[in-house]
Homo-oligomer: A and B are copies of this chain.
Amino acid sequence: MALRDLLIGLALVWLIAKVAGEAMERTGQTAVLGELLAGVAIGPGVLGLVHDSHGLHVLAELGVLILLFEVGLESNLGDLLRAGLQATLVAIAGVVVPFVAGYGFMSALGYPPLVAVFIGATMTATSVGVTARVLTDLGRLQDRASRVILGAAVVDDILGLVILAVVTGIATTGGVSLASAALLSVKAVGFLALAIAVGVWLAPVLIRWAGGMRARGTLIVYSLVFAVGLAAVSDMMGLATIVGAFAAGLVLATTERREHIERQIKPVADLLVPVFFVTVGMKVQPALLNPFAEHAYFGLTLALTGLAVVSKLVAGLTVYQRGVRRWAVGVGMVPRGEVGLIFAGAGLAVGVIAEDLYSALVAVVMLTTFVAPPWLKALWRADATARPAPAADPPPSG
């Protein structure tokens, strides 16, 4: 019975994801926007056709891992390291500016400092899934702006560790141990550097070993053992699982079987990635955005959303490298994700953040997610129009 529900849910999710994605592509948008909206439509908040079961959740989580693994496979480790300083600067600005904006705004409204701290923290964390998907759909992963965005997303996740330690400290003990937060981030950076260094050295050996196997499908299975294993280790280090999957992709991209792995992972991604975006859409409760509902923080939601967008755009202005689309970097960092909600959730758990305010924050996170895909698409289209030939595929120097 549970299996049947999952099969029906999966068939519906796939069908509507493809139909809505196709409709969006034909009207000049990206498929991911269609998948997000399709999720809103079939989710419990609107039609209630599909419920977010544990089975769908498992497939969605694997989907976003495989998306970031694929993005890693299509990225170049050297390019990413060269973008490192720029990406770090963008990430730091992308944490500081939204935090100050959120904290200052809430303080100005007369909220107590503790509430303002949690709201500020919620505004900081970028969710790279949506942007990575849009860049993949647009075929723009090789752009220099994409490297800065991806690099900044990794740094952002490490900064998120520090913020989580700080807000959890405030929430539980009322104090902050900056030393332990710093230690955490040093461990995280060390782990990433080590994983990539050892991986780059070990991967060719493993790939050659897998090549000598007789059983079918050895290469793709070993590649995903690596990706899923590194994701689990990331999680143990307190980092997001997608950071590990991205690192695994980066490492395997340095091997001679890169294209082979890419070709084999593609149909797997085609099946699982849309499940992630549809279930993200399913979590949206449109009722939260109803301005006529009781206790609706409608004005506050819109104001915080505006701040969330503007503050990441400002962070994008710290781009100093020539030839990097700074607006694209800013817009690419606009989508917030569940990490921000974890910060807010810590506040909810200790009673600093009220239920209504938490709901408003959920709405802010959701709205930022829907802003990025059409905006990024428009930016690259405007660019293609400004520089006529070749319109579909401008030179990588752009």
Chain A residues with CB under 8 Å of chain B are 3-4, 6-8, 10-11, 14-15, 17-18, 21-22, 25-26, 31, 54-55, 58-59, 61, 65, 137, 213-218, 220-222, 224-225, 228-229, 231-232, 235-236, 241, 264-271, 274
A231:B7 contact, CB within 8 angstroms:
yes
Given A235-B7, A267-B220; A58-B61 close (CB under 8 Å): no
In the complex formed, the residue of B with least CB distance to A21 is B215
CA distance A132 to B25 in the complex (A): 40
B22:A224 contact, CB within 8 angstroms:
no
A4 to chain B, nearest CB (A): 5
A265:B267 contact, CB within 8 angstroms:
yes
CA distance A270 to B214 in the complex (A): 13
A235:B25 contact, CB within 8 angstroms:
no
CA distance A269 to B268 in the complex (A): 9
Taking a contact as CB atoms closer than 8 A, the residue among B217, B222, B231, B270 that contacts A217 in the complex is B270
A241 to chain B, nearest CB (A): 7
A74 to chain B, nearest CB (A): 13
A220:B271 contact, CB within 8 angstroms:
yes
A270:B220 contact, CB within 8 angstroms:
yes
In the complex formed, the residue of B with least CB distance to A245 is B7
The A interface is mostly helix, strand or loop, or mixed, namely helix
In the complex formed, the residue of B with least CB distance to A244 is B7
8 new A-B pairs (CB below 8 Å) besides A54-B54, A217-B266, A264-B266?
A4-B235, A4-B241, A6-B61, A7-B229, A18-B213, A22-B215, A217-B269, A268-B271
Which residues of B have CB within 8 Å of A55? 54, 58
A50 to chain B, nearest CB (A): 13
A221:B11 contact, CB within 8 angstroms:
no
Which residues of B have CB within 8 Å of A217? 266-267, 269-271
Which residues of B have CB within 8 Å of A269? 217
Taking a contact as CB atoms closer than 8 A, the residue among B17, B26, B264, B266 that contacts A214 in the complex is B26
The 5 A-B pairs at the shortest CB distance, nearest first, are namely A217-B270, A7-B232, A264-B267, A11-B229, A55-B58
A270:B216 contact, CB within 8 angstroms:
yes
Which residues of B have CB within 8 Å of A265? 267
A221:B22 contact, CB within 8 angstroms:
no
Which residues of B have CB within 8 Å of A26? 214
CA distance A15 to B274 in the complex (A): 27
CA distance A8 to B244 in the complex (A): 13
A10:B270 contact, CB within 8 angstroms:
no
A377 to chain B, nearest CB (A): 14
B215:A25 contact, CB within 8 angstroms:
yes
